[in-house]
Structure 1
Amino acid sequence: MIVRIMGEGQVKLADSHFAELNKLDDELLEEMESGDGPGFRATLLALLDKVRELGTPLPDDALEPSELILPAPDATLDEVRDMLSDDGLIPG
């Protein structure tokens, strides 16, 4: 799956990594619902770091359609809330 981190670029991520990422996504959703700003920030950064760690960066000139778009590291709680689906940021 091709994943875009807003403001950074795209990475190719194997579907096998999504169970691990969904744990962080669930934690992020809980923190957003409870209004835990510091927890939200830490978990968002952990989620993006994990995507970078597990994914393979695509060249900057690649024009692959992104199947999943994640917020920038400095996104606010409200900006991330606007991006959420019923499953959180990551489907599944």
Structure 2
Amino acid sequence: MVGFVAGQTKAAPNAVFAGSVPYLMLAGNLVAGWQLARSLLVADEQVKAGSDTAFMQAKIATARFYAEHILTKVPSLRDSIVDGAESVTALAPEDF
């Protein structure tokens, strides 16, 4: 993804700009997923230790929900960044 943005910035800047919102969404989803994965690992250890089990199980369920419902959208965001510029740039700026 970064390679596409870096490689196209000079050659096709409008294509890169067209994918900027999905790029930020992708980055945000991935960073949030990473943080939830970190909390899941801690929660799993806490459950094994018998510490605040109900709360820790809720954290594990939240991380699983995020992985199954949000992170599954990442491939489509990638596709809209790499392949979706043509539909965004089809109109002239004055047509907006």
Q: What TM-score do you get using the length of structure 1 for normalisation? A: 0.32
Which protein is richer in strand relative to its size?
A: 1
Q: What TM-score do you get using the length of structure 2 for normalisation? A: 0.31
Which protein is richer in helix relative to its size?
A: 2
- Structure of larger gyration radius: 2
